[in-house]
Chains A and B, each alone.
Chain A
Amino acid sequence: MKDRYELTVDYVRYLNDAGEPLDELPALSADADRLLDAYRNMVLARTLDQKIIALQRTGKCGTYPSVLGHEVIGTAIGQCMERHDVFVPYYRDQATQLLRGVPMVNMLLYWGGDERGSAGWELCPQDLPISVPIATQCCHAVGIASAMRIRDEKRAVVVTLGDGATSKGDFLESVNLAGAWHLPVVFVVANNQWAISTPRGLQTGSETIAQKAVSGGLPGHIVDGNDYFAVSEAVEHALERAHGGKGATVIEAVTYRLGDHTTADDATRYRSADELRSAWDKDGIKRLQSYLHRAGHWDADKEKELQAHCRDKVDKAVHVYLEKAPEPPVAMVDYLFETLPAALAGQRERLARKVEGVRS
């Protein structure tokens, strides 16, 4: 006797590259304010991004990973999450973080070499800081979801990662636990085709990334990551499941990393100009803008006004960032433990004296 297990993964998109509906749009498309808020956030994220890159190029900010190509995914996540949910980001989630109330000044501080960037966060104080070690945040996400389960809370966790991160045990172990423990987590994989110089095809022999969900007993879905409607619907549905005690979901949002990996990278070394050009044709911001135009929600004047508004907001944040004095150097030991251990007191004193000596 032979049993047969069928695995299915769906792929959803609603808009073509030109922003024209391919199908009947999900109900959220009727909410014009939501669409406009989404578009404004995407433009703000991109404006901030371009500014930070310029600051880095002129020596005013450290190495920085661009959000270019991830604005739609990030915005959809930010809009779908409840404030009391917990967001567990990696480092291309500026668009979500803006909606989670992380001040632009904090993002600038973080990439500008100042630990205070991940402090404060008044709107969503339980959100995790950016995780730099790849995929490690997945384990935190299931831990946070476990805490919610232990306390019988109707909250959920959204964790983001890139396509490269799905090769790591952290992701697979976390998907496995989320299935075994029925945890309220949504894994959103921003599949941007490149892990620094390693293309998606060399990352895994798996036909899709979404099907890795199946190994943990979770549903996996693929959406066009440049299609605001498709991403929003998928995240909304996954969060409904999580909030309703129905368990975790993996969403593979397919996009393209339109920038270099970071400002320290030069993607022309490993990918073609043609590939990049055709990826720009699929840009999700442009796509939503075209849709809004066609639906009568947007025009050239509004666009001009928005661009100016975003530039102004970013410039103000940059001004605050550039004016901000560094923390006193003793801060490097002051936050290590709740209370400074006696063993560190002498080192703190030496550091303080050294700094004082330099000043005087």
Chain B
Amino acid sequence: MNASAENAIRHGEGAPVAHKVTLVEAVNLALAREMANDDSVVVLGEDIATNGGVFRATVGLKERFGYKRVMDTPLAENLIAGTAVGMATQGLKPVAEFQFMGFIYAGCEQIISHAARMRNRTRGRLHCPLVYRAPFGGGIHAPEHHSESTEALFAHVPGLRVVIPSSPQRAYGLLLAAIRNPDPVIFLEPKRIYRAVTQTVMDNGEALPLDTCFTLREGDDITLISWGASIMETLQAADRLAEQGVSAEVIDVATISPLDRETLLCSVAKTGRAVIVHEACRNGGVGAEVAASIAEGAFLDLQAPVVRVTGYDTVMPYYRNEQHYLPQVDDIVAAVEQVIAL
């Protein structure tokens, strides 16, 4: 953590301060900001209090807000998920951390059968204003079970929002929005880019909108659609394509469910072509939903079939081979060349 971010955490919100931070530091800034703003925000998870989280996303929070609001839990993911549900029904706004997405599955019964349904099944009498955070995705040479991208599992569940930041600024703004949202949010943090870049983030408490795609780069010839860590390769591919005279529009979906189809369809109506990039395996991935939405809503605008650049439909390989699994800039450029040639 750099000095200015650490300073902000120690000395409170005060006037908006500009910080040069990484994505994981932006997560920390947002948590601190909202805990200072709202006493009902609490955080819980494994190793998050004294240790500050294995990625240090929660560092300094216990010292500042006390052990009652920053809770180290026993090592039980199902319990973490369900405890957060119980807290949320009583008006707290818990932000629960799963140490890695690969360990979230034990909590799925609580997430799917309770968090996602509480408002609906009580007709609004109780609801779950909670956030489940989890680092996800490959590319950091992690052990088995630490590299998967299974966001589509949660995107399929009605009642959940699934939000994925792709930069420090969006991590800050989207996490604030997720905590303030009165319904459950799965907030997936692409750990491959936790510390890849720094950005200036104004710690001013301003949230970014949920349920909205972000157009990161405008273009006329093709729409590149992605989210999370793959945004980095997608933007690099757009640079390469520009050198080749291809003008690519790049859209960060950010909230993969509920999906902002309008932004996607407007872009494809303009460019007539789309390539979808995601790390997760292809079969039943969120890319399929995006492609189907384009087929349903912009078929007559399409000049070529929609193409997906994704992980393979296999188990995430151990790290010696993970680069061959993850979509690379070359793969994206090649897909675009193929689509443009059609």
Give me the interface of A with B, judged by CB distance under 8 Å.
86, 88, 115-116, 118-121, 125-126, 128-129, 131-133, 136, 138-150, 169-170, 173-174, 176-177, 180, 331, 335-338, 341-344
Contact = CB atoms under 8 A, between A and B. Distances in A.
A115 B90 contact: no
B121 A170 contact: no
Contacts, number: 139
B85, B91, B94, B127: most-surrounded residue (chain A CB, <10 A): B85
A125 B122 CA distance: 10
Contact of B89 (A120, A121, A128, A180): A128
B126 A128 contact: yes
B53 interface: no
Given A128-B89, A139-B86, A146-B83, A343 B182 contact: no
Given A136-B109, A140-B82, A344-B258, A336 B87 contact: no
Interface in B165-183: 182-183
5 contacts: A133-B109, A147-B91, A173-B74, A176-B74, A177-B74
Interface string B89-106: 111101000000000001
B68 to A, nearest CB: 5
Given A144-B89, A338-B182, A136 B211 contact: no
A343 B253 CA distance: 13
Nearest to A118: B122
Given A115-B121, A142-B86, A144-B87, A174 B109 contact: no
B120 A115 contact: yes
Nearest to B127: A338
Contacts of B109: 133, 136
Looking at chain A's contact residues, is the secondary structure mostly helix, strand, loop, or mixed? helix
A118 B68 contact: no
B133 to A, nearest CB: 17
A149 B262 CA distance: 45
A311 B239 CA distance: 77
B87 A342 contact: no
B87 A119 contact: no
A125 B82 contact: no
B44 to A, nearest CB: 8
B79 A125 contact: no
A115 B214 CA distance: 37
B320 interface: no
B183 A144 contact: no
Given A142-B83, A342-B262, 13 more contacts: A118-B125, A126-B90, A126-B126, A136-B82, A143-B87, A143-B88, A169-B106, A177-B73, A177-B74, A343-B211, A343-B258, A343-B259, A343-B260
Contacts of A129: 121-122, 126
A150 B74 contact: no
Contact of B113 (A116, A136, A145, A150): A136
B195 interface: no
B11 interface: no
A147 B92 contact: yes
A342 B211 contact: yes
A119 B122 contact: yes
A129 B123 CA distance: 11
B114 A140 contact: yes
Nearest to A110: B121
Contact of B110 (A119, A132, A136): A136
A150 B261 contact: no
Contact of B90 (A138, A144, A180, A335): A144
B90 A147 contact: yes
B73 A86 contact: no
Contacts of A147: 86-87, 90-92
B258 A120 contact: no
Contact of B68 (A149, A170, A337, A343): A149
